[in-house]
Structure 1
Amino acid sequence: MHSIKQTFAHDTWVMPYLRKYKWLLILVLFLGMMTFLSAAALMFNSGYLISEAARRPDSIIYIYVPVVLARAFGVARPVFRYSERLTSHNWVLRIVSDFRKKLYQAVEVKASAIKQTHQTGDILSILADDIDHIENLYLRTVFPIVIGWLLYLIIVIGVGVFSWPVALLMALLLGVIVLVMPLLSVAVNGAREFKQKQIQSNFYTSLTDEVLGLTDWVISGRYHDFMALQNKPIKQIAALRRKDHFFQWWRGFGVQFFFMLAVLTLLIWSGTFFTASKGMANWIAAFALTLFPIVEPFLEVSQGASEWPVYQQSIERVNQLSNDQPKQIAQTKLSEPVNEISVDHVTFSYPGDDKQILKNVSLQIKRGEKIALLGPSGTGKSTLLKLLLGDQAPTTGTVTINGTPVSELQDQRAQLFGVLDQQPYLFDTSVMNNIRLGNLNATDEQVKAAVEAVELKPLIESLPDGYDTEVQESGSRFSGGERQRLSLARILLQDAPIIVLDEPTVSLDPITERELLDTVFKVLHDKTIIWVTHHLAGINHVDQVRFLEDGGFDMQGTPRALYQDEPRFRKLYELDEGKV
């Protein structure tokens, strides 16, 4: 109970919508109650009708009313059931519509900073699973539990009108079903459901990251290691589901057992209570049969309760996403050209982690300068890029453009930075539309000029549909080098003064890589370029080289000076040139 209160203490996703659509919720619960009450009334009436008809009454009038009521309750049950399903799904669809809008707003507000607190797989998990889980919270937990408890009270009070001792016994027997078993389900199976959801969520996140880095797995020849990583969580989930099915079988058996005891209690009591006359004996079957349609919601109470830990985690995740909004920073605008980018004594570590990714790093980049950032994986190259772009804020120190903190220039980000990374995204539309994303106001002639500049004009114009050729999903119509050139054409149209190259040639063969780099530095000759790379192919295009290692710059200088003065650089260069 404490965990439930804690979950909803600062909730902005579930409780507000319960209040917003409270009258529709009341209607759903009312229709659900009427569905099962109609079914119970049908069985009650049928029990009486069968008993009365078996006595062969002297007049049809004795069974006429029960016959009419049987027809009425028989029609009422499916009508109420259909209305309840229709209304409950209307309720859920309205809420889900609000959820998706709220989720979009939560992500949109912190789009540029969302990777500070969430991995790609986390966001996909929220989009794919958590909203559906909250939807199921109503359909599979809230509605069945509330309806089951209401029916429980009605049965106990109804029997109590005739006999309070029997009502107390019924309260105990049915209480095991609607109170004890749900708590047992949460304690035993709920923990298992929670663990399964954790494994599934982590699997979602890790699989997303591994698929995004699939090229590295293939290149390294670690296919079996990749498959082993996927098989482990799948086997864990399968084992948990087997235990879940085993527990559900025994729980269902327990519900049926205690329900049978409740039916026998009613049968024995009614057989004792209604024996004063033959007419009163007609009520024995009526009372005994009443409970049978009620078993369905009683079964759903325990199942719905056992799923609560999964829903609880989903509620906490979406609340965390919307509550952990980035700190709002007053924005300004550069009115003059970008003359200098300055990283001044920057130290950075991720929140909650004592490890320093960058340690007192300083870097000045002048207008039009080309700089290469090199270093082994995990040394902070990507983190430094995030700081330069404003995706992260330094723990200490400053990152500025013309003296203005980059965090205050995020509204102008698209006008300042162009980014070409390892896997630039191309949409499933025409070549013309994909390139025009760099500048929506660009004319067809400007798009074609950009294509010509990146040396794709012969290829595009040789295609049957030319610039109207569909690139297909993720640009699969073209090779890796061609996709990079299309993205480079997009950057040319964007015409940003600062270009970030985040290992754009990592998946290309050496010949294509060299040709692409020659093109990149030729068409972007007047831009400031910050190039992150893992080796030295094409390094002679840059003015400065900085080696990041252990959070700081280990080597720095021009390519020529480093080749002459640093044996390590000279060895790496000759390896890339194939001279060693």
Structure 2
Amino acid sequence: MTARRREDPLRRAVRLLDVPWRRVAGAVTLGALALGCAVGLAAVAAWLIARASQQPPVLVLSVAAVTVRAFGVGRGTLRYAERLVSHDVALRGVVSLRTTLYARLAAGRSEAVAALREGDLLARTGADADAVGDVVVRAFVPAGVAAAVSLLAVAIVGVLLPEAGAALLVLLLVVGVGAPWLADRAARETERRSVRARADMTAATLDVLGDAGPLAVSGALDARLDDLRRADRELVAATDVGARTSATSEAIQTAATGVAVVAALLLGVPAVASGRLSPEDLAVVVLTPLAAFEGVGALPAAAVQLRRSRAAAARIMALLDDAAPDPSAPAPVAVTPSDDGTALAAHDLACGWPSRPAPAVAGLDVTVPAGGSLAVVGPSGAGKTTLLLTLAGLLAPVGGRLERHAEASWTAEDAHLFDTTVLENLRVARGGVTEDEARDALAAVGLGPWAASLPDGLDTVVGPGGDAVSGGERRRLLVARALVSRAPVLVIDEPAEHLDPEGADAVVRMVLGLTAHGRTVVMATHHRGALDAADAVLSLDDAHAPAA
């Protein structure tokens, strides 16, 4: 584990892309040929213009004219082919990375995932995975193309005028090394400050988009919007930090291009006067550098992408390392049959997070019978969510004994409603859910009339990009998702949060009433108005909470 953590995270993440390096080499070759056509086009066009000014017979210019057309067509065609190949490699790599990421997280320590905010987890599996895949298209391929084309341009100019070729080589090295170095310095500081700002922005955006109505009712919407604005300001400030260095990097390229042209003139004019260089070749020596710098001009952006991809890879690999099974950790609680009709039983149970010294809940004795319901109440910070995660099997107990006699499904307070149909949102829990099963689950949580009123029925798209759903409808839909999972025990965290008191009581009664469908229900809530519907109520007071 320690050796893996010391290894470059980008190198580790790129291995998970399962990149076919032959195809990357093919993309570099196509890109070099495309940009080589640009260099050739500049050289041949310069010769053609200079030679045509001397009014030779037309046949003398015919080969050059056809060559210009060939280079012009070839540049666009080869660039398109390079984009097809490189993007295919990158997209397939991201699929491979995400597949591996999901598989390892599913098989690893669930507390590593449970400890992350939803926005942070989505950022790592979404934008960060894309950033690692982009390193192929936006860093590796441009670097290879720039190296190949720079050598080609230096060779063309060097054959005609060696000293001009040497000057071009020096200037290409200055731009190809100095500008990316400056860009990397700017990106280093920008990424350091913006990584957290992007995660905060994602989390705040999800809160505002997913719970705008309930947040407005509870009066918390303005605070969430302030969080979003603050994250945006931090992101803008982080970008501004590196702007000056990035501008210097761009200025170096522009200045070096001008210096190359002036150097070619200063070296070429005496060569023409002495007869070492023809006037037509002087045009080639002067104008070829203009195209040559197109290749190295992409290197600062490649350096920025490399820095961004390395930061994203560090976040992904840190998540995978945290989720990797720990041989020294206690074995997970196995599901064992029960002879007395018990679903869950805890004896002197202590629950907490491995990274925290004190348990959130300690000395807990509770038994939940199969088909019964347990409501867990207590102030914020008392350990309700930690206890539920432990009972659901997502956190290992830190003390005492836990007996689980049935599989459990977990529904978090901030569970995600995906931008897809109602049916597909339910199929997140079980892929084989039929339409009849979906309607039954929706009816069980009180959404039968709502589902019947949807314009496209179960095929209606909901979520951020679809039909708007109220806070109560959203939470009932998430409970329906848990219901179709077929898990005997439903563990549901704060199903009525951010709802008005009347709506909250209705949702709490609905959740506790799922025992009528043969399920065992364990629920945490702040709302105490409908607790008479629970078979048992567990209050987490200061006796169970760790000392401040």
What do residues 207-250 of structure 1 show as CA deviations (whole Å, max 9, x unaligned)?
33565565664244244333222112223333444565555444
Match of 1:7 in 2: 8
**Which of these residues, 497, 515, 527, is aligned with residue 535 of structure 1?**
527
Match of 1:283 in 2: 281
1:235-314 pair list within 5 angstroms: 235-241=233-239, 247-277=245-275, 280-314=278-312
What do residues 462-513 of structure 1 show as CA deviations (whole Å, max 9, x unaligned)?
x679996766525968766677677777777767543434333345544455
Match of 2:178 in 1: 180
Corresponding letter in the other structure for 2:136 = Y
- Is the deviation greater in 205-214 or in 309-318? 205-214
Following superposition, the deviation at residue 11 of structure 1 comes to 1.0
- Is the deviation greater in 298-307 or in 214-223? 214-223
Q: What secondary structure is seen at the aligned counterpart in 2 of 1:291? A: helix
Q: 1:275 to 1:298 in 2, by over 3 A?
A: same
Match of 2:3 in 1: none
1:23-38 pair list within 5 angstroms: 23-38=22-37
Provide the C-alpha distance between the structure 1 equivalents of 2:7 and 2:347, rounded to a whole number of angstroms. Answer: 43
Corresponding letter in the other structure for 1:387 = T
Match of 1:107 in 2: 102
Q: 1:498 to 1:83 in 2, by over 3 A?
A: same
Q: What secondary structure is seen at the aligned counterpart in 2 of 1:552? A: coil
Following superposition, the deviation at residue 346 of structure 1 comes to 3.2
Q: What secondary structure is seen at the aligned counterpart in 1 of 2:537? A: strand
Equivalent residues of 1:270, 1:283 under 8 A apart: no
Match of 1:500 in 2: 491
Q: 1:333 to 1:135 in 2, by over 3 A?
A: closer
Equivalent residues of 1:435, 1:489 under 8 A apart: no
Following superposition, the deviation at residue 27 of structure 1 comes to 2.4
Report whether the alignment pairs 1:547 with 2:545: no
Q: 1:161 to 1:86 in 2, by over 3 A?
A: closer
Equivalent residues of 1:28, 1:84 under 8 A apart: no
Corresponding letter in the other structure for 1:532 = A
**Which of these residues, 147, 150, 162, is aligned with residue 149 of structure 1?**
147
Match of 1:565 in 2: none
Equivalent residues of 2:271, 2:277 under 8 A apart: no
Q: 1:84 to 1:480 in 2, by over 3 A?
A: closer
Following superposition, the deviation at residue 299 of structure 1 comes to 1.8
Report whether the alignment pairs 1:386 with 2:378: no
**Which of these residues, 88, 91, 97, is aligned with residue 92 of structure 2?**
97
Corresponding letter in the other structure for 2:391 = L
Equivalent residues of 1:450, 1:489 under 8 A apart: yes
Match of 1:401 in 2: 404
Equivalent residues of 1:13, 1:99 under 8 A apart: no
Following superposition, the deviation at residue 389 of structure 1 comes to 0.4
Following superposition, the deviation at residue 529 of structure 1 comes to 3.6
Q: What secondary structure is seen at the aligned counterpart in 1 of 2:400? A: strand
Q: What secondary structure is seen at the aligned counterpart in 1 of 2:8? A: helix
1:131-142 pair list within 5 angstroms: 131-142=129-140
Equivalent residues of 1:417, 1:498 under 8 A apart: yes
Corresponding letter in the other structure for 1:45 = V
What TM-score does the superposition give when structure 1 sets the normalisation length?
0.75
Provide the C-alpha distance between the structure 2 equivalents of 1:282 and 1:448, rounded to a whole number of angstroms. Answer: 79
Match of 1:202 in 2: 200
Corresponding letter in the other structure for 2:45 = S
**Which of these residues, 45, 51, 65, is aligned with residue 70 of structure 1?**
65
Q: What secondary structure is seen at the aligned counterpart in 2 of 1:91? A: helix
Following superposition, the deviation at residue 99 of structure 1 comes to 1.9
Following superposition, the deviation at residue 325 of structure 1 comes to 4.2
Provide the C-alpha distance between the structure 1 equivalents of 2:197 and 2:410, rounded to a whole number of angstroms. Answer: 38
Provide the C-alpha distance between the structure 2 equivalents of 1:71 and 1:146, rounded to a whole number of angstroms. Answer: 29
Provide the C-alpha distance between the structure 2 equivalents of 1:466 and 1:45, rounded to a whole number of angstroms. Answer: 63
Following superposition, the deviation at residue 255 of structure 1 comes to 1.4
Corresponding letter in the other structure for 1:97 = R
Q: 1:271 to 1:465 in 2, by over 3 A?
A: closer
Q: What secondary structure is seen at the aligned counterpart in 1 of 2:223? A: helix
Provide the C-alpha distance between the structure 2 equivalents of 1:235 and 1:107, rounded to a whole number of angstroms. Answer: 32
Report whether the alignment pairs 1:170 with 2:173: no
Equivalent residues of 1:29, 1:147 under 8 A apart: yes
Which has the larger Rg? 1
What do residues 363-409 of structure 1 show as CA deviations (whole Å, max 9, x unaligned)?
3334455433211011110110000001111233332125xxxxxxx
Match of 2:344 in 1: 341
Provide the C-alpha distance between the structure 1 equivalents of 2:352 and 2:337, rounded to a whole number of angstroms. Answer: 32
Provide the C-alpha distance between the structure 1 equivalents of 2:482 and 2:16, rounded to a whole number of angstroms. Answer: 46
Provide the C-alpha distance between the structure 2 equivalents of 1:357 and 1:184, rounded to a whole number of angstroms. Answer: 48
Equivalent residues of 2:47, 2:283 under 8 A apart: yes
Equivalent residues of 2:183, 2:301 under 8 A apart: yes
**Which of these residues, 463, 473, 477, is aligned with residue 462 of structure 2?**
473
Following superposition, the deviation at residue 430 of structure 1 comes to 7.1
Match of 2:39 in 1: 40
Structure 2 unaligned regions, length at least 5: 1-5
Provide the C-alpha distance between the structure 2 equivalents of 1:492 and 1:37, rounded to a whole number of angstroms. Answer: 61
Equivalent residues of 1:368, 1:528 under 8 A apart: yes
Provide the C-alpha distance between the structure 2 equivalents of 1:433 and 1:242, rounded to a whole number of angstroms. Answer: 40
1:453-468 pair list within 5 angstroms: 459=449
What TM-score does the superposition give when structure 2 sets the normalisation length?
0.79
CA RMSD of aligned residues (A): 4.3
Match of 1:363 in 2: 366
What do residues 160-180 of structure 1 show as CA deviations (whole Å, max 9, x unaligned)?
557766554433332211111
Provide the C-alpha distance between the structure 1 equivalents of 2:169 and 2:418, rounded to a whole number of angstroms. Answer: 64
Equivalent residues of 1:275, 1:281 under 8 A apart: no
Corresponding letter in the other structure for 1:400 = E
- Is the deviation greater in 99-108 or in 290-299? 99-108
Of structures 1 and 2, the one with the larger relative CO (CA 8 A, separation 6+) is 2
Following superposition, the deviation at residue 452 of structure 1 comes to 7.5
Q: Aligned pair count?
A: 530
Q: 1:12 to 1:188 in 2, by over 3 A?
A: closer
Equivalent residues of 1:480, 1:508 under 8 A apart: yes
Q: 1:513 to 1:276 in 2, by over 3 A?
A: closer
Provide the C-alpha distance between the structure 2 equivalents of 1:6 and 1:520, rounded to a whole number of angstroms. Answer: 48
Q: What secondary structure is seen at the aligned counterpart in 2 of 1:397? A: strand
Report whether the alignment pairs 1:87 with 2:82: yes
Equivalent residues of 1:431, 1:467 under 8 A apart: no
Provide the C-alpha distance between the structure 2 equivalents of 1:480 and 1:16, rounded to a whole number of angstroms. Answer: 39
Following superposition, the deviation at residue 15 of structure 1 comes to 7.7
Q: 1:300 to 1:497 in 2, by over 3 A?
A: closer
Q: 1:8 to 1:196 in 2, by over 3 A?
A: closer
